[in-house]
Chain A
Amino acid sequence: MDVLKGNFQTKKPATLNKKSDNESLEDRFEREALKNLGGSIAFVSKKKVLWGDEDQN
Chain B
Amino acid sequence: MMQGNNTLGFQLVANMERMTQDRIGASALKNAKYNDRFLDIGESLSALRNEKVGDGDSAIIIAAGPSIKRKDPISEIKERGYSGAIVATESALLYCLRNDVIPDLVVTLDPHATRIVRWFGDPSLNQKKLDADDYYRRQDMDPAFANELQANQEILGLLNDHGHKIRIALSTSASKAVVQRVIEANMQIYWWNPMLDNPDLENSDTRRLQDLNGLPCVNAGGNVGSACWMMASAVLNKSAVGLTGMDFSYYSETPYRNTQYYHDAVNLVGLENLSSVYINIENPYISENFYTDPAYMWYREAFLEMAADAAETCSTSNCTEGGILFGDPIEFITLRKYLDRHIADD
A residues in contact (CB < 8 Å) with B: 29-30, 32-53
Q: Would you give the shortest CB distance from B303 to chain A, in whole angstroms?
A: 9
**Contact, CB under 8 Å: B309 / A40:** no
Majority secondary structure of chain B interface residues (helix, strand, loop or mixed): helix
B107 CB to nearest A CB, Å: 11
B140 is an interface residue with CB less than 8 A from chain A: no
Q: List 29 A-B contacts (CB under 8 A).
A: A34-B264, A36-B261, A37-B12, A37-B23, A37-B268, A38-B23, A38-B295, A39-B16, A39-B222, A39-B223, A39-B299, A40-B24, A40-B110, A41-B24, A41-B109, A41-B111, A41-B196, A41-B222, A42-B17, A42-B20, A42-B21, A42-B25, A42-B194, A43-B17, A43-B20, A44-B206, A49-B234, A50-B199, A52-B216
Question: Considering the chains assembled together, what is the distance between the CA atoms of A38 and B302 in angstroms?
Answer: 13
A interface, over-half SS: loop
Q: 4 new A-B pairs (CB below 8 Å) besides A36-B261, A37-B295, A41-B28?
A: A39-B16, A42-B220, A50-B195, A51-B46
Query: How far, in whole Å, are A31 and B219 apart by their CA atoms in the complex?
Result: 28
Please give, as numbers and ranges, the residues of chain A lying within 8 Å of B23 by CB-CB distance. 35-38
Question: Which of A29, A38, A40, A48 neighbours the largest number of chain B CB atoms within 10 Å of its CB?
Answer: A40
| Interface presence of B59 (CB below 8 A) | no
| Interface membership of B227, Cβ < 8 A | yes
In the assembled complex, which residues on chain A have CB atoms less than 8 Å from the CB atom of B263?
36
Considering the complex, give the chain B residue whose CB is closest to the CB of A35. Answer: B23
